[in-house]
Amino acid sequence: MQVILLLCAIAIVSLFLPKEHKFHFSYQVDKPWEYSLLTAPFDIPIELDTATASALRDSIVRNFVNVYRVDRTVSSKQLQAFASKRNSGVGTSAERLFFIERLSEVYKQGIVDNETYTRIKNGQMPYVRQVGENHTIENTSTSQFFSVRSAYEYIDSIASSRNYHNSAYANNINRYLEPNILVDTERSKEILQQQLQKELAPIGMIQKGERIIDRGNVVTPQVKSALDYLREEYVAKNLNSAESKYITMSKVIIIAILFIMLYIYLAVFRHSIFYDIRKLLFVMSLLICFTSIFFIGVSLDPVKASYIMPFALVPIVMATFFDSGTAVVVHIVEVMIASIVSSYSTDLVLMQVVVGIIAIASLQEMSRRSQLARCAMLVMISYSICYLAFFLMEKGTLQGVSKYVFAYFLINAIFLSFSNLLIYVLEKLFGFTSSLTLVELTDLNQPLLRQLSESCPGTFQHVMQVSNIASEAAHRIGANVQLVRVGAIYHDIGKIKSPNFFTENQRGINPHSLLSPEQSASIVIRHVTDGMELADKAKLPQAIKDFILQHHGRGITRYFYAQACMKADGKPVDEEPYTYPGPNPQTRETAIVMMADATEAAAKSLTDHSHEAIVSLVSKIIDSQVASGLLKDAPISFRDVEIIKSTFIERLDSLYHTRIKYPDQITPKKPDPAPAPEAAKDGGVADEAKGNAEAPKSADGKKPGDEQKA
């Protein structure tokens, strides 16, 4: 299952890798350049900026004069058509000859379309480009050009002067008029492109290796033009290229290596995470989600993605549910994966590692929600200091620092301050228990605890004492103190259902005297299953339920088992009815509570609370648990056990120390008969020595006589 999860993680993260164009910069005109020094990888022409080029292009197109050509087929076709009607036409031969000459004249001068003629009359086209006899372009005056209408008016005016008006009308002269000066579209387009290329040609050149722009410099229109050209060249060169495929493949290999390194760390140093599929799935899912989101952000805006993405959120969540060491390693893997697509990977790695470690350190044993706000503030300060340090290292001056970057850091800090919501969602989704939830569960106004204090006051005092000594032992051996404290408080909640069957809650009558040993054992053992029912109803986290199940492990109710053996008259007695359901403690925390529970309960039954008696009791109980194999499944060392013993002894000594009697509690002695002076003196000395020897010590080890002397 671990291998499948690893392959899925590599595949999903690789799927979100940004497309490789080698150009991941984001920029705007009149905005500071937010990256390090950029030099030209090849010669880059400096083009006109977009606005200037667009205005110049519009002006050239608007004022461009098209190239015209004479279409001689038009005049010959129309003249031939008119001549073919001379036998059937109206008027004399002289009149028809007159009109042929006039038509030839206007066609020779040229007839243009109405739009061109209008521009000529408005003075916009004093000349046109016209293709000459040898295919050269010549400028020709437009003063002699006709339109179809002006050509007809010209012919009609001359015809009227010769009384040929009726004949012109009768012969429909206007039918034989058609533009013969036409736009040469191909030549016009060619000349226009040449003119545009000439006018819009690069105004300079950035040679290979030359500086384009440095961090903090403002992006000018000319620089933007160079950057646009660089982007287009990269896209064109990398599109569907083998080089791009090799780069992507290398990134996938790096991602796989980083995930494998994380697996090795977890397998060697964090067995509880690596071999627990639920925990391992949580770690890998968190990495997959955050790296994939970062890759998407880089595709949209590399700068904002690098500064706004709350990388510290991952170590915060990991430290909340696991431990600081795991949080640091997971954070480093996260940052290294992100760095392979960043435009400035060195800055990103150093900055994010520093910020992540500060975030983890500021949230050790997180118990208050205000700690998140403090953490967010520290993260923002750390980001700002690192950014200024890198900027100063590259530029040697703080001039040109971008104010927008600090706004990005602020947004990042705001995201972190709401990480409590993400922790809550993950807690419910994966069944983990955060330190904030543990703090909430210690509230004595919780319904279960309130019910326990009311129904089982003796048990309530017992669990509070167990909580105190167990949490101190957990602190000494480096276990989860908050978890031990809460688990100890809730471990005996099953006694709520039958409080009178437990010694600490009894007042005079012992109901076990009316039951058989097996019945009594069944009732006592049932407080584990009753506790689980109450825990399920109250929706307590699984981590707390483990304390209810495991605080007796597979131990035996020895008192009732011994009674059963006595009544059996030497016959074998089955241990199963007298054995708790278990399982044995699986963690250091549940093992500590098991030891504390048995030790605290037994200490109350002592009549002699001397140091020697407490040492003997603690050693006997814990050694018995070790010998019985109750602690064999817990990852706890003999050194830890010895530390726990000494802690319990120290705490119980403090709890049961002998107190001094105050003056109003001392009964005055009757005076003895007056002895002889010598005897009185000797006896007085002897009594005083005896009294000092037998006087009880106070909590600080002093005797009453010492206090009086002071």
pLDDT digits (tens, 9 = 90+) for 186-227: 888 888 888 888 777 776 777 777 778 876 678 887 788 788
Shared-domain flag, residues 622 and 688: no
SS3 218: strand
Domain assignment of residue 316, yes or no: yes
Q: Which residue has the tokens 């750390």?
A: 382
Domain assignment of residue 352, yes or no: yes
Q: How far apart are the C-alpha atoms of 167 and 95, rounded to whole Å?
A: 7
Structure token pair of residue 304: 């904002």
DSSP state of 130: E
Task: Give the residue from 477, 449, 475, 451 showing the smallest Cα distance to 463.
Answer: 449
Domain boundary, last residue among 378, 406, 432: 432
Residue 675: its pLDDT value, please?
44
Residue 701: its pLDDT value, please?
36
Shared-domain flag, residues 422 and 445: no
Shared-domain flag, residues 261 and 168: no
Based on its alpha-carbon atoms, the radius of gyration of the chain, rounded to whole angstroms, reads 50
Domain assignment of residue 387, yes or no: yes
Shared-domain flag, residues 396 and 441: no
Write the single-letter amino acid at 359: A
Task: Give the residue from 623, 621, 580 showing the smallest Cα distance to 601.
Answer: 621
Shared-domain flag, residues 299 and 272: yes
Residue 676: its pLDDT value, please?
39
Domain assignment of residue 213, yes or no: no
Distances (CA, A) of 237 to 21, 234, 242, 340: 8, 5, 10, 21
Residue 663: its pLDDT value, please?
59
The helix (run of H) or strand (run of E) holding residue 602 is helix 588-604
Q: How far apart are the C-alpha atoms of 654 and 642, rounded to whole Å?
A: 19
Q: Which residues of the chain have pLDDT under 50?
A: 239-240, 673-710
Shared-domain flag, residues 274 and 410: yes
Is the CB of residue 312 less than 8 Å from the CB of residue 379? yes
Task: Give the residue from 22, 23, 24, 36 showing the smallest Cα distance to 402.
Answer: 36
Is the CB of residue 459 less than 8 Å from the CB of residue 505? yes
Task: Give the residue from 489, 566, 497, 563 showing the smallest Cα distance to 531.
Answer: 497
Structure token pair of residue 96: 């028809």
The helix (run of H) or strand (run of E) holding residue 4 is helix 2-15
Domain assignment of residue 23, yes or no: no
Describe the crossing of helices 447-455 and 457-477 by its angle, rounded to 10 degrees: 120
At CA 295, angle to CA 294 and CA 300, rounded to 5?
Answer: 95
Residue 237: its pLDDT value, please?
62
Residue 703: its pLDDT value, please?
35
Domain boundary, last residue among 432, 451, 471: 432
Q: How far apart are the C-alpha atoms of 132 and 423, rounded to whole Å?
A: 84
Q: How far apart are the C-alpha atoms of 354 and 380, rounded to whole Å?
A: 12
Shared-domain flag, residues 700 and 625: no
Q: Please, which residues bridge with residue 205 across strands?
A: 45
Q: How far apart are the C-alpha atoms of 283 and 323, rounded to whole Å?
A: 12
Residue 31: its pLDDT value, please?
76
Torsion sign, CA atoms 622, 627, 629, 635: positive
Number of structural domains the chain divides into: 4
Q: How far apart are the C-alpha atoms of 427 and 5, rounded to whole Å?
A: 21
Quote the pTM value: 0.60
Domain assignment of residue 215, yes or no: no
Task: Give the residue from 572, 647, 658, 576 showing the smallest Cα distance to 609.
Answer: 658
Domain assignment of residue 188, yes or no: no
Distances (CA, A) of 150 to 102, 112, 118, 153: 13, 10, 11, 5
Task: Give the residue from 64, 84, 67 showing the smallest Cα distance to 76.
Answer: 84
Is the CB of residue 13 less than 8 Å from the CB of residue 292? yes
Shared-domain flag, residues 175 and 261: no
Task: Give the residue from 522, 583, 592 showing the smallest Cα distance to 557.
Answer: 522
Shared-domain flag, residues 500 and 622: yes
Shared-domain flag, residues 416 and 552: no
Tens of pLDDT, residue by residue over 134-193, are 667 788 888 889 998 898 888 888 888 877 777 776 777 888 888 988 888 888 888 888
Q: How far apart are the C-alpha atoms of 199 and 7, rounded to whole Å?
A: 57
What CATH number did the domain enclosing 485 receive?
1.10.3210
SS3 128: strand
Shared-domain flag, residues 426 and 443: no
By residue count, the chain amounts to 710
Pairing of strands 67-70, 38-39: unpaired
Domain that holds residue 303: 2-18+250-432
Structure token pair of residue 486: 């809460």
Shared-domain flag, residues 473 and 593: yes
Residue 683: its pLDDT value, please?
32
Residues 6 or more apart whose CB falls under 8 angstroms from that of 391 comprise: 215, 216, 398, 401
Distances (CA, A) of 227 to 29, 224, 301: 11, 5, 16
Domain boundary, last residue among 165, 183, 201: 183
Domain assignment of residue 31, yes or no: no
Q: How far apart are the C-alpha atoms of 534 and 537, rounded to whole Å?
A: 5
